[in-house]
Structure 1
Amino acid sequence: MSGARRRLGSVLYVLGATAGLALSLSGCQRGKASAGAAAPPAPDVSVAKVKLTQVHVWDEFNGRVIAIGTVEIRPRVSGYIQRVAYAEGEEVKQGDILFVIDPRPYQDALDSATAQLAHARATAQLAKLQYTRAQALMQSSAISHEEFESHRGEYETGNADVQAAQAAVATARLNLSFTEVHAPISGRAGRAMLTPGNLTQADQTLLTTLVSQDPVYVYFDCDEQNYLRYNALMRQQGHAAQGSPVRVGLANETGFPHQGAVDFLDNQVDPATGTLRARAILPNPARQFTPGLFARVELDGHGQFKALLINDRAVLTDQDRKYVYVLGPNDTAVRRDVQLGRVADGLRVVESGLTEGDKIIVDGTQKIFFAGAPVKPREVAMDSALSGAQTAMN
């Protein structure tokens, strides 16, 4: 037993010595690797000087395109549709025929009224002759007073019958003209709700809709704070909000390429939403605006002022704070918290946090892992940085 123990002790000793030697060699190798590693080079970054310039800031709202004129076309007489006289979805001019209702019953009614008028005129002419003769006979006392009054009554009744018959003819002619349904305004016609052979009811059946095309309205809601600020600005400038310029862009357009003007402000703020309904009017010669489309509206509500501008590409976010890296002493990246405003001419207005002359890092911020890190700056213009950002987004 003692010999076995000695042999086991010898084996454990050899294993321990081997493990110690391995650990020692591993530590030496790690030390050599650490000693041989060099510090990483400073990253290349693009820096641009903060831009101080006169800016014109616009406020953006969401709106809807609405036609100035919208008409529901309904017949003014009952009857069967004989013809649809327009191309669905196409533009029509004021006075163009849209539908034709079977005119034959109304032509017959006009002919009958015309005949009644002729009969009434003949009867009235006879009554006039008899009344004229009765006047002569009355002067010579050849007829009684009662007979004279009877002839005069027939004469006046004949005149009244003629006027009633004339009115009946006018009504029948008007109803006949209503069998042709004309466009009351110029605009784009919708689909025909009835096809030939269907019965229409006067003033009830919807035949189609018609919307005007040029110009158009764009309605949008202005919040209470902006409305109060606009009012104050307008009082300072000495003119009303109506006529203020607006810029409009559609959902598939970049920027706001269309120009218009405010022509209406509602007379009260909606207490439920805290907004005021406003309306702009825009020309639409190319028919780009279709009623019902979503539109982005920019309203000029600030006037001109000097501001510091930077590229949005340089702005980073730390929870709820915005910051940029400013080029500091010895080409280091210094963090600077900023308060940002609206966009002006494609650049972001800086309300606080930067000063004129500061140079900010606009490209390569992803290579900066901590504030104070060394960088290798390459100076560019802020506008060039803007162009690069737009190219990257496209």
Structure 2
Amino acid sequence: MSSAPISEHETKPALSAHKPHPPLPEPEPPQRSGFRKWIIMLAIVLVVGAAIWKIRKNTEEQTAQGQKMAAMLDRPTPVQTVKVQQKTMPIYLTALGTVTGYNTVTLKSRVDGQLNRVNVREGQRVRQGDLLAEIDPAPYQATLAQAQGQLARDQAQHANDQAQSNRYRALFEAGVVSHEAAQAQEALAGQSAGAILQDQAAIQAAKVNVNYTKITSPINGVVGLRQVDPGNIVHASDTNGLLVVTQLEPIAVIFTLPEDHLPEVLDLIRKGKKLAVEAYDRSGATHLATGSVLTVDNQIDTTTGTVKVKAVFDNKDGALFPNQFVNVRLVLQQRPNAIVIPSAALLSGSQGNYVYLVKPGDPPAELQPAPPAAGQRQGKAGRVASGAGPAQNQPTFYVVAQPVKVDLTEGAQVILSSGVNPGDPIVVDGQEKLRNGSRVIPRQSSNPNGPRAVNPNRAATGVGSDDKGSTQQPQGRSGGQQP
């Protein structure tokens, strides 16, 4: 018997009908879900707590920093002060100059020969007529002796010729000799007389050469370095001299001025005014000497647009030296009763120029810094603030930003037209830490013109001050808190 094959799809339902599905196991109830929730909640609480702690800590640090800054602002600042001066101020031009000897002489030999000796030391001061060097005079003395001998011979010859001329003249008058013979004897006598004059000139020339062997100083001055040592043969045609003598008392300074200032200077000179000139060192801080204008050059240098001016100085102390570079101040006029402050004290702000004026006592309430807000924690900053104030029983001072009006800048000093009064104490050092109403501990500056500044002669304004130890700072410095 054959039977048809049964497919897999037909058998599976049959098997399923005979064997029912077993029941699914029920899920186990969660045992640790509550514990995990507590862990997550605890972590969230910790994170929130850490964030709140960090925020509060930052707030406290900012509060402490603010209180510390407030305490530092209220802490007295040491400053240096000077008093406003009222004095006569010179108005002058500044220039760069070079010191030159009033007279400079290069001594050369006027005759040839061997240099026997140099009678002065290098750097020695000499006076006019002092013997400086000697050249061997023997050849020139011999020439002088020859000229003197020739003179004696020619004198004897002339005496004989003159006697012959007299005899021939007598014979001619007696009619013994001819007129031509008498004239010939007179000519011989004249020739011998001329030979005598020539011999006398030769003697004078020989004496001059002998004198030239002794070289003397033509001026008062100082001997420079020796150019030729004794024993060398020197010639009148040598380009180099033996010695150089420079006159240092008085001494001259040559400087240049812009042609724009020439009319003003010439007008003062034509009126007979003696213009004072002050010489300062290279830095412009040390006063060297005071002199006067000697003359102005007769032409303007077209390449630079300047004119040369020569000033003369006594130089008794030897402060000036030839070829020395100096800063020159040509005083044009004197301004009496000028209100003067150091340029270091002048500051500039949005409202213009001002200075810090020192006043005694505590600053007014409107100038004091705002107190910390209520509820802020003082902590360490509060202790710093409470201990930073001025000591008890000590005088207190504060500063006020005082506006001023500048009239003229004179090197390291400034002439004011208004703003302060003579004798007012002003701050010249330490302004960068100040504000309007800051407490200060004033100390009198040792330099009445404030801290040393830059060279005043390099300022663009071309003016300076009369103080000998001062220099210039730029006008209108900014420092501290602007008013």
Q: TM-score range by the shorter chain?
A: 0.7 to 0.9
Q: 1:167 Cα shift?
A: 0.7
Q: Aligned to 1:69, what secondary structure does the other structure show?
A: strand
C-alpha separation between the residues in 2 aligned to 1:158 and 1:228?
68
CA distance in 2, matches of 1:87, 1:34: 79
1:216 — aligned with what? 251
Provide the residue aligned with 2:438 in structure 1: 375
**How big is the shift at 1:354?**
3.9
Partner of 2:272: 240
Which of 422, 433, 447 aligns to 1:387? It is: 447
Q: CA deviation at 1:15?
A: 3.6
Q: What amino acid is aligned across from residue 438 of structure 2 in structure 1? A: V
Q: Which amino acid in structure 2 is aligned with residue 98 of structure 1?
A: L
After superposition, the Cα gap between the structure-2 partners of 1:208 and 1:317, relative to the gap in structure 1 and judged at 3 Å, is farther
Give the conservation status (yes or no) of the 8 Å contact 2:344–2:450. no
Partner of 1:263: 294
1:94 matched residue in structure 2: 128
Alignment of 1:1-394 (within 5 A): 14-34=42-62, 38=67, 39-40=70-71, 41=74, 43-44=76-77, 50-51=84-85, 53-205=87-239, 206-231=241-266, 234=268, 239-240=271-272, 243-251=274-282, 254-256=285-287, 258-316=289-347, 324-325=355-356, 330=364, 331=367, 333-334=400-401, 336=403, 339=406, 341-343=408-410, 347-350=413-416, 354=419, 360-368=426-434, 373-376=436-439, 384-385=444-445, 387=447
Cα 1:208–1:318 change in 2 (3 A) is farther
Structure 1 residue 197, shift from structure 2 partner: 2.0
CA–CA distance in 2 between the matches of 1:337 and 1:391?
20
**Alpha-carbon distance between aligned partners in 2 of 1:159 and 1:140, rounded to the nearest angstrom:** 27
Q: Are the aligned partners of 1:56 and 1:304 in contact in 2 as well (CA < 8 Å)?
A: yes
- Where 1:258 maps in the other structure, the secondary structure is strand
- 3-state SS in 2 of match to 1:56: strand
SS at match of 1:155: helix
Deviations 1:215-234 (A, max 9, x none): 111111122343344445x2
Give the secondary-structure state (helix, strand or coil) at the position aligned to 1:387. coil
User: Which deviations, in whole Å up to 9, do the C-alpha atoms of 1:196-245 show, x marking residues without a partner?
Assistant: 2211111435211111121111111122343344445x28xx7235x212
CA contact (8 A) 1:94 1:184 kept: yes
Deviations 1:316-375 (A, max 9, x none): 4689x965446799357548586573338x742236x8465887544441222x6xx431
- 2:80 and 2:127 map into 1 onto residues whose CA distance is 59
User: Which whole-Å deviations, capped at 9, do the CAs of 1:232-288 have from their partners, x for residues lacking one?
Assistant: 5x28xx7235x2122233448954353321111112332222222111111123333
Alignment partners' CA distance in 1, 2:75 and 2:407 = 29
Letter in 1 for 2:218: P
Q: Work out whether residues 311 and 386 of structure 1, in 8 Å CA contact, stay in contact via their aligned partners in 2.
A: no
* Distance change >3 Å, CA 231–CA 152, structure 1 → 2: closer
Unpaired runs of at least 5, structure 1 = none
Contact 1:309 1:350 in 2 (8 A): yes
Q: Provide the secondary structure at the position in 1 that maps to 2:50.
A: helix
Compute the displacement of 1:73 (Å): 0.6
Q: 1:46, 1:187 → 2: CA distance? A: 48
Q: 2:279–2:326: 8 Å Cα contact kept in structure 1?
A: yes
Distance in 2, matches of 1:48 and 1:100, equals 64
Identity %: 24
8 Å Cα contact 2:82/2:450 also seen in 1: no
Distance change in 2, residues 1:361/1:83 (3 Å): closer
Give 1:126 shift: 0.6
C-alpha offsets along residues 45-66 of structure 1, whole Å, 9 cap, x if unaligned?
6777755554333333322221
SS at match of 2:248: coil
Contact kept? 2:134, 2:215, Cα under 8 Å: yes
Q: CA RMSD in A?
A: 3.7
Distance 1:10 1:185 in 2: 114
Q: Is the 8 A contact 2:90 2:332 kept in 1?
A: no
1:285-320, Cα deviation, whole Å (9 max, x unpaired): 33332222222322211332453322233234689x
State TM-score, norm by structure 1: 0.82
Q: TM-score under structure 2 normalisation?
A: 0.68
CA distance in 2, matches of 1:50, 1:287: 35
Letter in 1 for 2:311: A
SS at match of 1:212: strand
* Whole-angstrom CA distance in 2 between matches of 1:189 and 1:342: 44
C-alpha change, 1:54 and 1:98, in structure 2 (3 Å) is closer
Structure whose alpha-carbon radius of gyration is higher: 2
Q: CA separation in 1, counterparts of 2:224 and 2:400? A: 62
Aligned length: 380
SS in 2 for 1:99: strand
SS of alignment partner, residue 298 of structure 2: coil
Structure in which a larger fraction of residues adopt strand: 1
Task: Note closer, same or farther for the CA distance 1:340–1:26 as it changes in structure 2 (3 Å cut).
Answer: farther
Paired amino acid for 2:120: Y
